[in-house]
Structure 1
């Protein structure tokens, strides 16, 4: 009976499988390989074609049929069937390929409806078809699936070590009523660079799917995807084609095609895309029987819904970080993101117990995600949420981020996700093809002996070094204004002449070897164990960042290796060296040296052991910083900014002061980094500002700057005031899920000052550590930096003096035993006065007798506020430089 059924299926449609519903029901009892899932969707049509082969075989739920002598090849002039010169051990349709220097087409007779179209490639050489010359396009009906596809480049960029040189692509294509045939055409891309290109394919699979699995059901209003960043909905029309980019079983294992719900989909584990920590995955097994009354039972295998990744119910520390996935995608396309949820936790009893916030591409899509609310308080009910997001760009790779954060009004401080699927939607021309990846960096041939540093150091310091080097990725923007143009051009010309691989040791170049060390490529290779991947601690558009060791492996450094095609070319490389080599301050990240030979552009920076300040304030499991540590860090940052404003020949305005750009070394000394947005300040005697477009980070931007487009050093002062509030509160400048009054940290702090309750914004970790008088004065400093009128803000020199006073007050209070540890700060005297909606620097001046103000102004501080500050602290307020 079984053999007859199989023979019947094989005999249909000349050497390819086309299984009707009745046939599937007939052969399922004797073909358990089709699916071992609890629920099976029986596909009406299933083709699995082993291209170039004359033999049939069964594997992983598929009956593979050879295409030789079949009627599927409707156009195949000159096509060749050949085995690979280097066979692969990977099972599947990879023992033969169909290859041709001319166009060839497969034609499939199909019924109307949506189909999975899957393409299988093994990038290898076949007879005289050399691997590197495979360069072609693929169309399916009106859609372009691949365009100028370089198989060898894509295989080299693929990060799946378990399947080397295997490429897989999956698409969803709908055949409208009246369409009875789908043509899949392979077209060699003949260009001047690729005159001998050819096209090839190892396997093709077509599987019918339910009509509204991914396409929008016009009768289901609730199932229409939400457009991220808007209140509108996005219909996935039947005329659309989709490409599967990711199908991830979150916190679970890989799920093979035979474990899917009959459609032979593969679900991968999410570990490679999760960028934040989470608890060990929870597997609820068979605790609760799943009930598919909110979605179809074939939507995903049961195992997807029985494993969940969450943050763990470990208390308030969970509010300090997100669950974050980073998904590389082609920019310039629209994407459908499907999130799968199922509540099985026995401790979550009713709606409202566990709520969380979801961000997609850093845009809020819901601030009250609640699985039990979605399922009417039903446990074990799978539910999906669909979102459509546009990733703008020019087709280059970007990361699409998914972030899930606990809701503050919740019983459990947790967030959760079971699975996700991401699909690219075709553009207006029917195109789904993205660009080829960049060529890989050339790997040096001779490995260098390991420096014997433990690889665990690399893991421990990932955030530290990645943060440290990010501070100089775009620093060339400063230098274009800082250097004399003639000198810079001479340097560029001379460096360009070094492209032959020679060194700069002859001294002919203007690169400042007297201020900045020149490393040979051999020294760099020795420092990084020949660019060993174990030494990589960060990556970006510029290339990889390595933790290296110099001086006989005694000194750790951060080594940034610019990759070919990086936005930082020779020009930026040279000017970055010239500028950074002239900036030297204890509180600025230092450039130690560079390497420019053998076509390598490499920069070497000091190593920052403790990473970014932000990583010690919130969204982290790092131990909390003490109040004294925070004060010392703030003073260090203020000194670094004051140096930029007053300690160099031309004032430098940083323009992106924030907690992620403040780095901490091994001794917790603070150093300012990331000069990518910096500008030279006003240079003429009569100039008071720089007219420029708005750049910076939301939450830190000087309102005067973004309203009037006038940039001054006081814009840095404003941003630093926001950092001071971050340090005091241990929270982000903007929290969109907070109640309206608390969304903006600055507005909340000002509101609390009006009420005399600044302690309400204080980090709970600091309770009992701050003397009340110190808290008052620290608040004075922060709010003086945040005046709307930039001329009323203190200079960074003034800020340094005021913060040093705050530290003195803290030390004095500690020595006098008046810390009032454990006391509620609301019970002490008002931190500030009341009845004021804004703070004015003139108020501080009046209380110290430095200047007079208009009648009616009152101070938030008491008369003794700044009695310890010398008369020159407010020197700029006395003489505001003509502003």
Structure 2
């Protein structure tokens, strides 16, 4: 009778050992996790995630202020499209959503947009602004620019007990809309407080990063396929790098089928998933000489902002530790010299590492990242590697991610009462007063009088990015 028990015990031990890698990390479970299917009465399931209809009893502590808002359903459902894009809430006047925040800190805010076929509204006529707390995230956003479902992805620092998303039509003849909203508390290690500010002259610390508002502009899986929300612990999408690769000459793609070894205090699956770290583009020395070649990726950007550039590395190519040294460049400037992958990963292969750089994009129309051999690179080894890239726009001095306008100005731009008549009247009075002053000055000048003058004050306070 002992044999069956001994067999069961052995089987149990084998199964336990085989599942240890899978149980070596906990699945991310956010404290704040709002998924809203706007304009819908019913819940929708997308990639095993439940988006709650606004009128559903499961809406929890979500408070929607939607005066002048109308739920709209698509007349003809989109083929092979998520159900959250079959409904929308339309706003004909300023309206807002309020979300109760239990976990203060960085939150992921995603806004889903898709124009609908509706007899009530021409979605191509939509034009509106969107505010998230004190930040302008969209200014004069147009429905006519949406061809396929669009997801705007933001990282917002929240220090209060509420996160407020406000939709404001650009003018009374226009309207705003949204199909779905996600508000999710982010892992504490997702956005650090300090990064390296890289310029052509120097590299210095950039502090206060975590409290900046960020818009994800690019999230790229180097040498790999598209990674969907279903395969990412934070429900992100990573696109292939082919479109941004300037030249693949001298490089090759690599896939790794083994286990990515995350270490405590280093990169986590929430920072970047396995499916990004297990592919890479590499430069390899195949003889006694080091190839004189860099791999470069080019990304169009909007000028007038700083950008956070996050580069992901994982040595899935070397046959041994202590062999991989290379340089990292951002906008052609040396950002990391002689990066030693063994040193930054505690001398462990297939262990991920990422580096954060801040660049000033005031005069830029494109942003480039590159990797290539360094003076410490060794012959017959890998001399350059990159697994993933993220580029995030940082809010400007106005607290805006879309134009030189502040949230207060946008909030006050909506006409109130007879303000539509008042503004032209005030403008006319100011114009007449200005003309009168000019005429009086000319008359006095002609009579022989002279005037002293003082320079207008220019030291008006302005919120600036900390660095």
Taking structure 1 as the reference length, what is the TM-score of the superposition?
Answer: 0.40
Deviation at 1:332, TM superposition (A): 0.6
- Indicate which of 120, 137, 142 corresponds to 2:129: 137
Deviation at 1:92, TM superposition (A): 4.1
1:43-122 equivalences under 5 Å are 43-68=30-55, 72=62, 74-89=64-79, 90-111=81-102, 112-122=104-114
Alignment partner, residue 301 of structure 2: 329
Deviation at 1:320, TM superposition (A): 4.0
Alignment partner, residue 211 of structure 2: 239
1:254-273 equivalences under 5 Å are 254-261=226-233, 263-273=234-244
Give SS of 1:414's match.
strand
Deviation at 1:380, TM superposition (A): 2.4
Deviation at 1:86, TM superposition (A): 4.6
Alignment partner, residue 399 of structure 1: 366
Matched, 1:357 2:344: no
In the alignment, the residues of structure 2 paired with residue 108 and residue 288 of structure 1 have an alpha-carbon distance, to the nearest angstrom, of 36
In the alignment, the residues of structure 2 paired with residue 40 and residue 288 of structure 1 have an alpha-carbon distance, to the nearest angstrom, of 16
Q: 1:289 to 1:117 in 2, by over 3 A?
A: closer
How big is each residue's C-alpha offset from its partner over 1:527-556, in whole Å with a ceiling of 9 and x where there is no partner?
Answer: xxxxxxxxxxxxxxxxxxxxxxxxxxxxxx
1:436-447 equivalences under 5 Å are none
Matched, 1:183 2:164: yes
Matched, 1:370 2:351: no
Q: 1:284 to 1:381 in 2, by over 3 A?
A: same
Give SS of 2:206's match.
coil
Alignment partner, residue 189 of structure 2: 212
Deviation at 1:408, TM superposition (A): 4.3
Q: 1:123 to 1:317 in 2, by over 3 A?
A: farther
Deviation at 1:372, TM superposition (A): 1.4
Q: Is the 8 A contact 1:123 1:167 kept in 2?
A: no
Q: 1:117 to 1:414 in 2, by over 3 A?
A: same
Deviation at 1:37, TM superposition (A): 12
Matched, 1:126 2:118: yes
Deviation at 1:401, TM superposition (A): 0.5
Deviation at 1:348, TM superposition (A): 4.1
How big is each residue's C-alpha offset from its partner over 1:811-861, in whole Å with a ceiling of 9 and x where there is no partner?
Answer: xxxxxxxxxxxxxxxxxxxxxxxxxxxxxxxxxxxxxxxxxxxxxxxxxxx
In the alignment, the residues of structure 2 paired with residue 60 and residue 121 of structure 1 have an alpha-carbon distance, to the nearest angstrom, of 18
Deviation at 1:201, TM superposition (A): 0.1
Q: 1:38 to 1:248 in 2, by over 3 A?
A: farther
Q: 1:212 to 1:175 in 2, by over 3 A?
A: same
In the alignment, the residues of structure 2 paired with residue 260 and residue 344 of structure 1 have an alpha-carbon distance, to the nearest angstrom, of 20
Q: Is the 8 A contact 1:257 1:266 kept in 2?
A: yes
Taking structure 2 as the reference length, what is the TM-score of the superposition?
Answer: 0.74
1:847-858 equivalences under 5 Å are none
In the alignment, the residues of structure 2 paired with residue 39 and residue 268 of structure 1 have an alpha-carbon distance, to the nearest angstrom, of 26
1:215-230 equivalences under 5 Å are 215-216=192-193, 224-229=194-199, 230=202
Q: Is the 8 A contact 1:37 1:301 kept in 2?
A: no
Alignment partner, residue 29 of structure 2: 42
Q: 1:40 to 1:281 in 2, by over 3 A?
A: farther
Alignment partner, residue 355 of structure 2: 385
Matched, 1:148 2:117: no
Give SS of 1:271's match.
coil
Deviation at 1:73, TM superposition (A): 5.1
In the alignment, the residues of structure 2 paired with residue 54 and residue 365 of structure 1 have an alpha-carbon distance, to the nearest angstrom, of 51
In the alignment, the residues of structure 1 paired with residue 53 and residue 130 of structure 2 have an alpha-carbon distance, to the nearest angstrom, of 20
Q: Is the 8 A contact 2:189 2:271 kept in 1?
A: no
Deviation at 1:306, TM superposition (A): 1.7
Query: Runs of 5+ in structure 1 lacking a partner?
Result: 1-34, 156-163, 217-223, 436-883
Alignment partner, residue 281 of structure 2: 309
Q: Is the 8 A contact 1:84 1:127 kept in 2?
A: no
Matched, 1:415 2:392: no
Query: Runs of 5+ in structure 2 lacking a partner?
Result: 1-21, 405-467
Q: Is the 8 A contact 1:214 1:236 kept in 2?
A: no
Give SS of 1:247's match.
strand
1:507-586 equivalences under 5 Å are none
Q: Is the 8 A contact 1:38 1:302 kept in 2?
A: no
Q: Which protein has the larger Cα radius of gyration, Structure 1 or Structure 2?
A: 1
Further displaced range: 422-431 or 269-278 = 269-278
In the alignment, the residues of structure 2 paired with residue 188 and residue 36 of structure 1 have an alpha-carbon distance, to the nearest angstrom, of 48
Q: Is the 8 A contact 1:61 1:264 kept in 2?
A: no
Q: 1:228 to 1:124 in 2, by over 3 A?
A: same
In the alignment, the residues of structure 1 paired with residue 290 and residue 367 of structure 2 have an alpha-carbon distance, to the nearest angstrom, of 23
Give SS of 1:372's match.
helix
In the alignment, the residues of structure 1 paired with residue 134 and residue 123 of structure 2 have an alpha-carbon distance, to the nearest angstrom, of 28
Give SS of 1:319's match.
coil
In the alignment, the residues of structure 2 paired with residue 376 and residue 37 of structure 1 have an alpha-carbon distance, to the nearest angstrom, of 19
In the alignment, the residues of structure 2 paired with residue 235 and residue 295 of structure 1 have an alpha-carbon distance, to the nearest angstrom, of 20
Alignment partner, residue 437 of structure 2: none
Q: Is the 8 A contact 1:81 1:96 kept in 2?
A: yes
In the alignment, the residues of structure 2 paired with residue 314 and residue 41 of structure 1 have an alpha-carbon distance, to the nearest angstrom, of 42
Q: Is the 8 A contact 1:36 1:260 kept in 2?
A: no
1:585-596 equivalences under 5 Å are none
Q: Is the 8 A contact 1:49 1:64 kept in 2?
A: yes
How big is each residue's C-alpha offset from its partner over 1:259-296, in whole Å with a ceiling of 9 and x where there is no partner?
Answer: 222x2222222222112115442112116644455334
Q: Is the 8 A contact 1:311 1:318 kept in 2?
A: no
Q: 1:227 to 1:173 in 2, by over 3 A?
A: same
Q: Is the 8 A contact 1:134 1:199 kept in 2?
A: yes
Q: Is the 8 A contact 1:104 1:185 kept in 2?
A: yes
Deviation at 1:366, TM superposition (A): 2.3
Q: Is the 8 A contact 2:283 2:372 kept in 1?
A: no
Give SS of 2:55's match.
coil
- Indicate which of 233, 237, 251 corresponds to 2:223: 251
How big is each residue's C-alpha offset from its partner over 1:781-801, in whole Å with a ceiling of 9 and x where there is no partner?
Answer: xxxxxxxxxxxxxxxxxxxxx
Alignment partner, residue 781 of structure 1: none
Q: 1:288 to 1:432 in 2, by over 3 A?
A: closer
Considering fraction of residues, name the structure with more strand: 2
